[in-house]
A = this chain, B = another copy of it.
């Protein structure tokens, strides 16, 4: 209900300050007063998110972990939304680091494949970030960098600009979609380790088997595949479908089509 006039203290915090870093404040003077940094705040937020999901990220819990008061977080971040954006973006920083070596190979599509897989791997076990990629350009430069890095590969293909733009968007969307889908796979007990993954898959398998065969012929048809499947493999299978289509569109004659194998 209150209109945001952009005058909160955090809006005075220059984003360029993001590269400072001060450490834990275990120095000589401070014992009572805590001292943070943007990176420390975001890093601790990611840790909290990974441990207990989105509902686990609380300003109070975060402040406790940082050893300070609730209010001080607002010096670095103007809202919980911005905190989540920065957390998601910091995950993409890892992806960028792991795909830094790419771009030299002679097959652009193979490079895109590697980037997408690295992106996927960063989302495994992080159901919370599905919805926060590319939220705001201002705070999320890493998302744009990954987008651009993938785009540079696509530029090497014989495609129109529109086709290049669409291709990168499609691959990114697919990765996000798989991440979002997998996010809700294990409902809670699995995350906490109360029920192991195998038991969860088995009980879902039984649920599928209990459905009427006439109403759900396909689910019955693939129920064993479901029980035996590996998420990462399935991700790659779908990615390869998309990349095979891209290769076709680019009129590839150099490399053989890569999908349709496993």
Residues of A at under 8 Å CB distance from B?
A: 130-138, 144-145, 147-152, 154-155, 161-170, 172-181, 183-184, 187, 204, 207-208, 211, 215-219, 221-222, 224-226, 229, 234, 237-246, 248-249, 257, 259-260, 262
Contact = CB atoms under 8 A, between A and B. Distances in A.
Contact of A177 (B154, B174, B226): B174
- Counting every copy of the chain, the complex holds 2
Nearest to A249: B260
B244 A144 contact: no
A181 B170 CA distance: 10
Contacts of A174: 170, 173-174, 177, 238, 242
Contacts of A138: 207
A183 B237 contact: no
A239 B225 CA distance: 24
A221 B134 contact: no
A48 B218 CA distance: 35
Contact of A152 (B132, B155, B218, B246): B218
Nearest to A229: B165
Given A164-B218, A165-B226, A249-B260, 19 more contacts: A131-B131, A131-B180, A134-B184, A135-B184, A135-B187, A151-B218, A162-B237, A166-B238, A170-B237, A170-B241, A174-B242, A176-B177, A176-B181, A177-B178, A180-B180, A245-B245, A245-B259, A248-B257, A248-B260
A245 B240 contact: yes
B245 A151 contact: no
A78 to B, nearest CB: 14
Contacts of A134: 181, 184
Contacts of A217: 148, 151-152, 155
A39 B262 CA distance: 44
A162 B245 CA distance: 19
A152 B176 CA distance: 26
B257 A221 contact: no
A131 B218 contact: no
A209 to B, nearest CB: 12
Contact of A237 (B135, B166, B222, B257): B166
A230 to B, nearest CB: 11
Contacts of A180: 130-131, 133, 173, 176-177, 180
